Amino acid sequence: MRKIYIFDTTLRDGEQSPGVNLNTQEKVEIALQLEKLGVDRIEAGFPAASPGDLAAVNAVARAVKNASIIGLSRSREQDIDAAREALKGAQDPCLHLFLATSPIHRKHKLRMEKEQVLETAERAIRYAKQYFDKIEFSPEDAGRTELDFLCEVTAMAIRAGATVVNIPDTVGYMTPSEFGNIFKTLKSNVEGIEKIQLSAHCHDDLGMATANALAAILNGADQIEGTINGIGERAGNTAIEEVAMTLATRAEFFQATTSLQLKEIAKTSRLVSKLTGMVVPGNKAIVGANAFAHESGIHQDGMLKEKTTYEIISPETIGLKESKLVLGKHSGRHAFREKLIDLGYELEEEAVNAAFAKFKDLADKKKDVSDEDIRALLEEKLIDTPEVFTLKSLQVNYSNQSVPGATVSIGTGEGVVVEKTAEGNGSVDAIYNAIDAVTGESVELEDYSIKSVSQGKDALGEVHVVLKQDEVSAQGRGLSTDILEASARAYIDALNRLIDKRKSPGRRDKMSLI
Ligand SMILES: CC(=O)SCCNC(=O)CCNC(=O)[C@H](O)C(C)(C)COP(=O)(O)OP(=O)(O)OC[C@H]1O[C@@H](n2cnc3c(N)ncnc32)[C@H](O)[C@@H]1OP(=O)(O)O
Ligand SMILES: CC(C)C(=O)C(=O)O
Ligand SMILES: [Mg+2]
């Protein structure tokens, strides 16, 4: 297996993400985690950018022992001197020099002819070579540079003393076959190419950063530059975790490997996200929250039978505990039954089916159905009181300018549904008055409480009531994503229990699952 060197630029190109600013302490914390992850090279910053960045690069250089530390520099002496200062104390320092070579950059940005570009870069490399053994040179915007000129620039960099020549697709313009072809051409046309390492630095403007980096590997690149979570200028850089996991997962195809400790990937991703404030999208490859989560029934069934049906990487590989089967409206009975077992419920098939039907109703209303939701759904039905009254529908009219009113339709047994409207001091009072009008029961509301059983705006609300009638009291419980509906359900539940107690005095509530 060929070793691919990993050059991490989270602290330099990653920090160029709009809105990201890492202080010295944060850079050191990330660098130490990158060291644990096992990256070979860490680009810690651009020392000429500010005194703060110079100090941060220096702090990283002094803290990290097992990776080469790199500082970026324009092809100017003052930048090189700043990098020299910053890299003092590094065990294995390296200077990263760059100068744009594409016609667009030459003409509009640098206002240089080809000859001037060659001369400026050569002068900078030779100046730096007095102070650095290791120099990486990047012809910025190499992807849009004429291929013959790129060969000329690369040959010049090798002669002047560069030890790595990095090929940046600065604006993410390349396709994999074009980018791969650059490496193939350099490898076969540039004199002295075997003396240096070739590197790829890709951007994700068209979503091809990882594919382009892999194409570079297939065509001879020795090093991949990238960032954790793919952060970076504009649409970001190649995500290092994607390259490392592709090489690990498809080793037979790439015949190449990295020295990353793959188990550190998840932790590194979380740290970078936390300190940069850049949230990792749920669907991000490898490190997104959904990368090992399965919601649909057919996939969950496959996962329960054999994980490789729907997972090409095991979550443990990157340091996560396990895959998640997320219950939602696309889930099926296999996953639901597994969840019940996890939660400690052992139900008969019929009971599972009844609970599953209720779960589907809830899943239609809620984005995620949590463990608390499922417990609540199951336990609502633990007590098998005969349902004399059942809530069919509920409508509430509320305005703070008028008296609240409610209309309820209630099944009263034997297929009869009665509808009544009433007013009250508040919406709940109006609902309870309307229920009383239907049932004809005279009861006293002794207690009413409400709590949320799960999290978020669409959490299930659970209402508890205690009703009293002729010295007998009964509790009732109602659950719904709507607290008014939960209130109505709790009241009707308590009424049913009161009636049951009246019919069989001394009877204690009998518990059974669903
Ligand atoms: C593709 C990349 O990611 S490249 C790295 C990009 N990162 C950064 O730019 C972050 C750090 N940069 C900075 O803090 C500032 O830009 C500094 C300190 C480097 C320079 O600041 P200023 O002196 O105010 O210059 P400013 O940024 O406005 O313009 C850049 C100048 O550098 C020149 N330049 C650009 N690249 C290079 C280079 N590789 N070598 C030499 N000169 C360069 C530009 O042509 C321009 O020159 P001009 O002033 O003669 O027109
Ligand atoms: C400095 C260089 C390598 C860069 O970040 C780019 O061209 O994208
Ligand atoms: Mg870049």
Whether 455 shows a pLDDT value over 90: the answer reads no
Mean of pLDDT values over 32-60: 98
| Positive or negative torsion for Cα 295, 300, 302, 303 | positive
Q: Which of 283, 198, 197, 196 is nearest to 239 (CA)?
A: 283
Contact in structure between 19 and 277 (CB atoms under 8 Å): yes
Dist. CA 41–CA 406, nearest whole Å? 69
Contact in structure between 323 and 313 (CB atoms under 8 Å): no
334 is in an annotated binding site: no
Question: Residue 507: its pLDDT value, please?
Answer: 43
Whether 414 shows a pLDDT value over 80: the answer reads no
**13 C-beta closer than 6 A to ligand 2:** yes
**98 C-beta closer than 6 A to ligand 2:** yes
**209-237: pLDDT as tens digits:** 999 999 999 999 999 999 999 999 999 99
Ligand 3 ion: nearby residues, β-carbon < 5 Å: 13
Question: Residue 513: its pLDDT value, please?
Answer: 28
pTM above 0.90? Answer: no
Lowest mean pLDDT among 33-37, 199-203, 238-242, 337-341: 337-341
Whether 506 shows a pLDDT value over 90: the answer reads no
Confidence class for position 113, pLDDT limits 50, 70, 90: very high
Lowest mean pLDDT among 323-337, 366-380, 422-436: 366-380
Contact in structure between 100 and 139 (CB atoms under 8 Å): yes
Instruction: State which ligand 2 atom lies nearest to the alpha carbon of 141.
Output: 7
From the CA of 167, the nearest ligand is: 2
Question: Residue 195: its pLDDT value, please?
Answer: 97
Q: Whose CA is nearest to atom 6 of ligand 2?
A: 170
Whether 143 shows a pLDDT value over 90: the answer reads yes
Confidence class for position 479, pLDDT limits 50, 70, 90: confident
Whether 175 shows a pLDDT value over 90: the answer reads yes
Which two tokens mark 279?
Answer: 């949230």
Fold of the CATH domain 390-503 = Double Stranded RNA Binding Domain (3.30.160)
- Phi and psi, residue 474, nearest 5°: -145, 145
228 alpha carbon to ligand 1 midpoint, in Å?
Answer: 25
Share of residues in the chain with pLDDT > 70 (%):
97
Dist. CA 12–CA 21, nearest whole Å? 10
CATH code of domain 2-276? 3.20.20.70
**484-501: pLDDT as tens digits:** 999 999 999 999 989 988
Lowest mean pLDDT among 53-57, 307-311, 371-375, 498-502: 371-375
Q: Residue by residue, what is the 3-state secondary structure of 485-500?
A: HHHHHHHHHHHHHHHH
Q: Which residue has the tokens 């919601």?
A: 295
Mean of pLDDT values over 370-379: 80
Instruction: State which ligand 2 atom lies nearest to the alpha carbon of 142.
Output: 7
Q: Whose CA is nearest to atom 22 of ligand 1?
A: 49
From the CA of 236, the nearest ligand is: 3
DSSP 204-232: -TTS-HHHHHHHHHHTT--EEEEBGGG--
Whether 509 shows a pLDDT value over 50: the answer reads no
From the CA of 117, the nearest ligand is: 1
Confidence class for position 56, pLDDT limits 50, 70, 90: very high
Question: Residue 503: its pLDDT value, please?
Answer: 80
Confidence class for position 514, pLDDT limits 50, 70, 90: very low
Pairing of strands 472-480, 461-469: antiparallel
Question: Residue 381: its pLDDT value, please?
Answer: 57
Question: Residue 366: its pLDDT value, please?
Answer: 74
Mean of pLDDT values over 420-425: 97
204 alpha carbon to ligand 3 midpoint, in Å?
Answer: 10
195 alpha carbon to ligand 1 midpoint, in Å?
Answer: 30
**237-274: pLDDT as tens digits:** 999 999 999 999 999 999 999 999 999 999 999 999 99
Instruction: State which ligand 1 atom lies nearest to the alpha carbon of 111.
Output: 45
140 alpha carbon to ligand 2 midpoint, in Å?
Answer: 6
Pocket test for ligand 1, best of 110, 119, 170 (most atoms within 8 A of CB): 110
32 alpha carbon to ligand 3 midpoint, in Å?
Answer: 22
- Phi and psi, residue 51, nearest 5°: -60, -35
Whether 171 shows a pLDDT value over 80: the answer reads yes
Whether 512 shows a pLDDT value over 50: the answer reads no
510 alpha carbon to ligand 3 midpoint, in Å?
Answer: 68
Longest dimension (CA), the chain: 103
Question: Residue 474: its pLDDT value, please?
Answer: 86
Higher pLDDT, 372 or 337: 337
Question: Residue 510: its pLDDT value, please?
Answer: 33
Question: Residue 380: its pLDDT value, please?
Answer: 63
201 is in an annotated binding site: yes
Q: Where are the domains of the chain?
A: 2-276, 293-380, 390-503
Question: Residue 382: its pLDDT value, please?
Answer: 47
Dist. CA 128–CA 99, nearest whole Å? 14
203 is in an annotated binding site: yes
509 is in an annotated binding site: no
Mean of pLDDT values over 88-99: 98
Instruction: State which ligand 2 atom lies nearest to the alpha carbon of 9.
Output: 5
From the CA of 200, the nearest ligand is: 2
Whether 505 shows a pLDDT value over 90: the answer reads no
